Structure 1
Amino acid sequence: MTQIEKNSYGSTTANEDVSEFRLRNLSGREVSIITYGGIITEIITPDSDGRMENVALGFDNLEQCEKENPFFGALVGRYGNRIAKGKFALNDTEYTLAINNGENSLHGGLKGFDKVVWKVDEVKESDSFVSLKLSFLSKDMEEGFLGNLKTTVTYTLKSNNSLDILYEATTDKTTIVNLTQHSYFNLSGNFSQTIVDHEVEIDANEFVPVDAILIPVGDLASVEDTPFDFRNAKLVGNAINVHNEQIKLRAGYDYCWVLNNEDKGYRSVAKARHPKSGRMMEVLTDQPGMQFYTGNFLNGTLSVPGGGTFAKRSRFCFKTQHYPDSPNQPQFPSTTLEPGEKYSTKTT
């Protein structure tokens, strides 16, 4: 049967209680989520032999989650990805954000949505799904962002083994919003192994090239005849080390792909498969872009629960989102949210 199990996950350094919710469907798949950062700490799913293993990188204690880490499994906001030099303008007024990534603002600033305790609004169980609805009120000018932004995120694990993430938000002042989920995956279930043996497919004819400080240069680039062409499934390792200025800049893949068929809304955009284990995942979204990142900067210093360390390129991300620095790039799809409007986006 479907089930949600609630447990204590400890208290933050600010003495805020944190809970863990374990969602389980009829086939035994499990997703564990904590209220700190809305973090997904585990996704347990079988391989082709029925062996159940966790495929989502994370920690097994709150202390590690609170320390600096690569956003393992966290909700990201108010703005996922980078904003150039932490500045943007709305209605001819310039706003300055917290700088936390070189010259830029990244993933919401110094204390983004990944570092707050979310409120549990609703827990649902039925014959076909289990869901957890979380909410957080980001106050006016928090981290430099305009407006009181009320955000809800609903995680739904279904009997067809899909995990839906519904992001919703409203504001009382004109602001910018770009929410995403920062889970890292290794479909082998062994986080000490690299993901270069995974096959990846991305339905995108273009990607967003960046400059030396990782801000879009303004133009989109074709993936044709480049290492960024994943329109047909190929091994991640096939071209990750080729001579290419963009690959060199990020020591691998860490770019936003311009997803095809944005006008169709919610659609299939990407797949990943680990041939040896037989595990496969598919991503569906209504978003215009997706950041594909191959864990190029893990260095073996972070511990894996149960033993070992997270090695370089031992995980990948599929982060559905708007393009980096969109508030400063008028040619990109808008991330502006007005009072009276509802931000709503879904990724599976």
Structure 2
Amino acid sequence: MSITKKIFGKMPDGTQVDIYTLKNSNNMSVDILNYGGTIVSILMPDKNGKIADIALGFDDIKRYMENDAYLGALIGRHGNRIEAAEFELNGKVYELVKNDGNNHLHGGKVGFHNVIWNVEIHEENGAEKLVLTHTSPDGEENYPGNLNVKVEYSLSEDNELKLDYNAVSDKDTVVNLTNHAYFNLSGHASGDVLKHQIYINADKFTPVNDECIPTGEIKDVKGTVMDFTKMSSFAEGIASGDEQIVYGLGYDHNWALNTNGNINEVACELYEPQSGRAMQVFTTKPGIQFYTGNHLNENVELIGKNNTVYNKRTGLCLETQFFPNAMKHKNFPSPILKANETYHYVTIYKFLNK
């Protein structure tokens, strides 16, 4: 696997934005920006060898800066929602910005999706990997601790895109890093994703209220529209009128994975029958957010690559994570990172044809 670099554009202050291409020998490649650690494109063949770009993204940096959909970006310090934009840690209440109604979403206004990451290319076992680093200062977005973050991207000859997340803080803090790539296995310009099928290796999910905030309940999926324990279509669930679907305006929920942190066990699989493309997700995280692009093109028209309009449900996200709102519910896995301890989680997206 090799990595090449070229200029993508410039920030308003003149800072150069670079795009890095990770490529293997199977006609697969992934483009990643140093701005937000953003996945811009994923090129892969279908079952007949036809190559398409299966990730939603933009052609220029201006659109990324204006983007409120987090297309392809690294998310931090805390991915997903925090109720009432506050949490209590060690007896102190930390008030955060309210950027999702009354709640805090995806790290706030100065989230990791908005920063220029430092980038190095490292070689390991004859293959190159992209190493992104960033320091979030103590008090940024009112999160405690100087947080040093490292995220490594690599693409294997087995078509595995690996994201290796690491972080260390000098104070107790909360961390929940993820990536917000939008996938459409038919191709980013092919329309909605409602013909896709999904398998989620989870017997339980976390129900939400009408603000899409988990209530603290961990509920069985059996007999509900949240049951994807067998590969199945989700279009019917979206059209069901189920209360959870109404609250999320589609699927925008967290599943409690059965995998218990085992990186070798499939946590989730996405499949698109016409192209034959499939994507398996492996992770050491305890949860995964399945989001069906319910808010795409909602407030600002999203003009993506090649002047493609990204409408509602033209892409979906599979965000590996701690459960949303975990600081409010002690029965959820904890996102607390103790001072000088190492946060380390791995997620792999494996691409294949069936």
TM-score, length of structure 2 as denominator length: 0.95
SS of the residue corresponding to residue 150 of structure 1 reads strand
CA contact (8 A) 1:3 1:125 kept: no
Query: Which residue is equivalent to 1:329?
Result: 329
The alignment-based identity, stated in percent, is 38
Q: What does 1:115-264 correspond to in 2, within 5 Å?
A: 115-124=114-123, 127=126, 129-262=127-260, 264=262
* Structure 2: runs of 5+ lacking an equivalent: 349-354
Q: Tell me: CA distance 1:161–1:104, structure 2 relative to 1, closer, same or farther (3 Å).
A: same
Show the counterpart of 1:68: 67
Counterpart position of 2:85 = 86
* Letter of the 1:185 counterpart: F
Structure 1 stretches of 5 or more lacking a match? none
CA offset at residue 4 of structure 1? 1.1
CA distance 1:51–1:263, change in 2 (3 Å)? closer
Return the alpha-carbon distance in structure 2 between the equivalents of residues 29 and 133 of structure 1.
20
Counterpart check, 1:343 vs 2:343: yes
TM-aligned CA deviation for residue 180 of structure 1 = 0.1
Aligned-residue CA RMSD (Å): 1.4
Aligned pair count? 346
**Cα deviations across residues 61-105 of structure 1 (Å, max 9, x unaligned)?**
101001033000000000000111111111101111121110011
Whether the 8 Å CA contact 1:209–1:216 is kept in 2: the answer is yes
1:316 paired with 2:320, answer no
CA distance in 1: counterparts of 2:280 and 2:273, whole angstroms: 15
Contact 2:262 2:283 in 1 (8 A): no
Change (3 A) 1:31 1:126: farther
Q: Is the contact between residue 25 and residue 130 of structure 1 (CA under 8 Å) also seen in structure 2?
A: no
Distance across 1 between alignment mates of 2:262 and 2:34: 33
Match of 2:36 in 1: 37
3-state DSSP of counterpart to 1:280: strand
Q: Deviations over 1:126-158 (max 9, x none)?
A: 64x431000000000001100000000000101
2:203/2:227 contact within 8 Å kept? yes
TM-score (norm 1): 0.96
Instruction: Please give the alpha-carbon distance, in whole angstroms, between the structure 2 residues aligned to 1:198 and 1:327.
Output: 33
State the shift of 1:263 in Å: 5.5
SS at match of 1:131: strand
Structure 1's 192 and 159: CA in aligned 2 closer, same or farther, altered over 3 A? closer
- Residue 346 of structure 1 aligns with an amino acid whose one-letter code is V
Q: 1:264 to 1:41 in 2, by over 3 A?
A: closer
Kept in 1: contact 2:55–2:188 (CA 8 A): no
Distance in 2 between residues matched to 1:193 and 1:130, nearest whole Å: 34
C-alpha distance in structure 2 between counterparts of 1:14 and 1:117, whole Å: 12
The CA deviation at 1:125 is 6.8
AA of the residue aligned to 2:336: T
In the other structure, the counterpart of 1:105 is 104
Distance 1:161 1:263 in 2: 21
CA contact (8 A) 1:192 1:310 kept: no
CA distance in 2 between counterparts of 1:218 and 1:119 reads: 37
